[in-house]
Amino acid sequence: MIKFEGITKVYNDGFRAVDDLSLHVKEGELLVLIGPSGCGKTTTMKMINRLIEPSEGEIVIEGEEISKKDPVELRRNIGYVIQHIGLLPNMTIGENVALVPKLKKWDKDKYMKRVDELLEMVGLDPQIYRNRYPAELSGGQKQRVGVIRALAADPPIILMDEPFSALDPISREQLQDELIKLQEEIKKTIVFVTHDIDEALKIATRICIMKQGKIVQLGDPEHILRHPINEFVRNFIGEERLSKAKFLPSLSEVLVKPVIAGPNRGLAEAVKIMHDRKVDSLLVVDKNEKLLGLVSVWEIQPHYHEEELKLKDIMKEDIPVVQSNQSLIEAIKISSEQRVRFLPVVTDSNQLIGVITRASLVDVMAGKYGDVI
């Protein structure tokens, strides 16, 4: 999606803010740029929408070198969220959110519908907030509006420059949670700058740790926690966080084989499988073992004598799952919030690779860390 190829930025006073940086930001990921003050993270991000021009190298977005594009047009197709929000005080919330769609000459009915959809998406009732002014909103509400304004014209790329750092801890945590949920739904390519390692570990698909204009380590949060590349990264993350990461096993270590059945199995057959395997639920998968749903004995019981019914007719399709690239901490959180006894683990293509149960977690923890426990 976004490729940095040998990017260097040297200012007039000779300061080298970014030094021969090459980086590929993947489509649909949330990449966090992080590092100490002056490491080049904000400069790197601002070069994407040409608020800062590189001294050397190329930035390519969807196959097109951005120095050849009109900067105004480029920016209208890239959402931008900043720390101090920048809402126009003389415009209503609806007018602020609709600003870029209007500049792109969207039909009024279309952009007003978009405004209402986005306000609802972040929990702000359009009937209440659409016609209010920024001064009438709290800091957290303003920042929500700042985020959806960046989404209004449906750009493929969103840049977020320390958007939550000025908020109180409670509002900040709420907005981090909302961003995670929002990204699961919209799948934008997001480049997010922060100085807060806890924020980075919580929200990122991948983390890019920088120092003196160079990339020190790039990887998903799980990998960086488990395998910090050098002492600088160790110190930046902190020993307490690293210790916690070492204590927990990886997601793959606690996987157990699921009890499965095809969607065309009859109910009596399903009950027999449950009885033989001493379980009360089956995961329903297709011939390629893609997860379709879940059936428990409690769903079967009312319909048991309806011989024409198959598992596909009564299975629950909307069930909690965890992705195979997520951490065990995330899996435990999902399991706790959803109050489920086991959690299917699936790939990006929804192929079932195993389940995590409370028993499997305890077994692995006790076996591997029994002396600690």
Confidence of residue 248 (pLDDT cuts 50, 70, 90): low
CATH number of 2-247: 3.40.50.300
The neighbour count for residue 251, using CB atoms within 10 Å, is 22
CATH number of 252-369: 3.10.580.10
Q: What is the mean pLDDT of the chain?
A: 90
- Whether the CB-CB separation of 329 and 202 falls below 8 Å is answered with no
Q: Is the pLDDT of residue 357 over 70?
A: yes
Confidence of residue 363 (pLDDT cuts 50, 70, 90): low
Q: What is the pLDDT of residue 372?
A: 44
Q: Which residue has the higher pLDDT, 248 or 228?
A: 228
Q: In what order do the strands lie in the sheet with 2-10?
A: 16-25, 2-10, 56-61, 64-65
Q: What is the pLDDT of residue 371?
A: 47
Percent pLDDT > 70 in the chain is 95
Q: Which residue has the higher pLDDT, 289 or 366?
A: 289
Average pLDDT over residues 293-302: 93
| Among 87, 52, 45, CA closest to 67 | 52
Confidence of residue 373 (pLDDT cuts 50, 70, 90): very low
Q: Which residue has the higher pLDDT, 248 or 238?
A: 238
Start-end of H helices in 84-238: 93-97, 99-103, 108-121, 126-129, 139-151, 169-186, 197-203, 221-226, 231-237
Q: What counts of helices (H) and strands (E) characterise the chain? A: 17, 16
- Whether the CB-CB separation of 207 and 200 falls below 8 Å is answered with yes
**Strands 64-65, 214-219: parallel, antiparallel or unpaired by DSSP?**
unpaired
Q: Which residue has the higher pLDDT, 189 or 363?
A: 189
Q: What is the pLDDT of residue 240?
A: 81
303 secondary structure, DSSP code: G
Bridge-partner residues for 209, per DSSP? Answer: 34, 217
Q: Where in the chain is the domain with CATH 3.40.50.300?
A: 2-247
pLDDT in tens, 120-149: 988 899 999 999 999 999 888 988 898 899
Q: Which residue has the higher pLDDT, 246 or 136?
A: 136
319 secondary structure, DSSP code: -
CA gap 276, 294 in Å, rounded: 18
pLDDT in tens, 158-207: 999 998 887 888 888 888 888 888 888 888 999 999 999 999 999 999 99
Residue 361 half-sphere exposure, CB side, CA atoms within 13 Å? 15
Q: Where in the chain is the domain with CATH 3.10.580.10?
A: 252-369
Q: Is the pLDDT of residue 247 over 80?
A: no
pLDDT in tens, 22-63: 999 999 999 999 999 999 999 999 999 999 999 999 999 999
3-state secondary structure at position 192: strand
User: Cα angle vertex 263, ends 353, 187, to 5°?
Assistant: 50
CA gap 354, 246 in Å, rounded: 22
3-state secondary structure at position 197: helix
Percent pLDDT > 90 in the chain is 65
Specify which of 103-117, 231-245, 322-336 reaches the highest per-range mean pLDDT.
103-117
